Amino acid sequence: MHMQFIKLDEVASTNSYVLQVARELAGGTVVYTPCQTAGRGQKGNRWLAEPGMNATFSYLYKPQAILAREQFCISEAAALAVSQVLAELSGERIMVKWPNDIYHGNRKICGMLIENSLDGRLVEHSVIGIGINVNQREFDPYAPNPTSLALITGTDHDVEWVMRLVCERLEQHLATLAVQGCQALHHDYLSVLYRHDGQAHMFSTPDGTAFAATIVDVAPDGMLALRHADGTIRQYAFKEVVQSMQ
């Protein structure tokens, strides 16, 4: 797949833009901007980025035969691409907090919003929105736990270069899925999954109920499997459960 890059001087949301014109664009198109004014995160969360300081972009993927029920493999490919590139650039251990936030220690360096359009049983196209904190050093005080590549390494980085490295790695992983199938990256994803360590950690439900559980697996549809203290294993969709950061 040959990547094409489209730079917008300013846009409300790269994901929203790509979704509007997805049928007109070739797979492998990357839309990016130094100034995203209304970036969107998972489940309606906002993604705030200081203009020119961070990598904010969306990659359009048009798979040949990814089943809707296995669509989480696209998220795994994206999360691995970002975590691997940031680990290489920083020399630090970078983890993926389910489903696809990227963390250094207990601080978030990247968020994603992956929006899949379905055609029957298959994924017709996927818009992979990625926002990486690259050079930003000061953040909204209401942001709970942000960090950036510059804060980790102590130096600034070329924002567009970071983006292109991630896109190249993403293309490699998507090519692996096309050849080997949707489970091809799953082991690698689990190997960098935050707190997938065989130990019990604290979680909570939206009503505030806290409980200890061990991460067992993530299903092909993205459901998180947790083993509770009584030994039962239950599956949770995103925002049905929250990991405690303590």
pLDDT in the model for residue 42: 46
Domain 201-243 belongs in CATH node 2.30.30: yes
Q: How far apart are CA 192 and CA 27, in angstroms?
A: 28
Q: How many CB atoms lie within 10 A of CB 91?
A: 8
Residue 217 pLDDT greater than 90, yes or no? yes
How would residue 108 be classed by pLDDT, with cut points 50, 70 and 90? very high
CATH class label, 4-191: alpha beta
Closest to 159 (Cα-Cα) out of 56, 65, 8? 56
pLDDT tens per residue, range 67-100: 999 999 999 999 999 999 999 999 999 999 999 9
pLDDT in the model for residue 41: 53
Closest to 76 (Cα-Cα) out of 241, 187, 215, 229? 187
Domain spans in the chain, listed from the N-terminal domain onward: 4-191, 201-243
pLDDT in the model for residue 37: 79
What pTM did the predictor assign? 0.92
